[in-house]
Amino acid sequence: MTNIDTAAFEDRVTSQGYVTVARKLGPSEGLDDHTHDFDAWGLVTSGEFHVTVDGETTIYGAGDEFKLAAGCVHSECAGPSGVTFLAGRRSKP
């Protein structure tokens, strides 16, 4: 099992103006194309998180980080076992 340092992640993202929230999605749960009005920086803590941008899907597993800029059109979906992750959000001025 991977030892994920969530405290270090939270320290790193909060020092750059992000607020973190814990998220959990059930198996294959997700959202079709959408945008956020904030920058997102996440850390997967268990399961898989599938993110599609411009038709290209990247699968993030436990210990992987991902970033999405505010306004980026994307879809997101949990893997077959669901996903838990920390989501850092930074509002645009």
Domain ranges across the chain:
6-91
Cα radius of gyration rounded to whole Å, the chain? 13
Sequence-distant (≥ 6) Cβ neighbours of residue 49 within 8 angstroms: 25, 42, 59, 60, 64, 66, 76, 77, 78, 79, 83, 85
> Which tens digits make up the pLDDT trace of 15-25?
999 999 999 99
> Which tens digits make up the pLDDT trace of 2-14?
689 999 999 999 9
Give the residues across from 41 on adjacent strands.
67, 88
User: For the chain (length 93 residues), average pLDDT per consecutive 10?
Assistant: 86 97 97 96 98 98 97 98 98 78
Q: Give CATH superfamily name and number for 6-91.
A: Jelly Rolls (2.60.120.10)
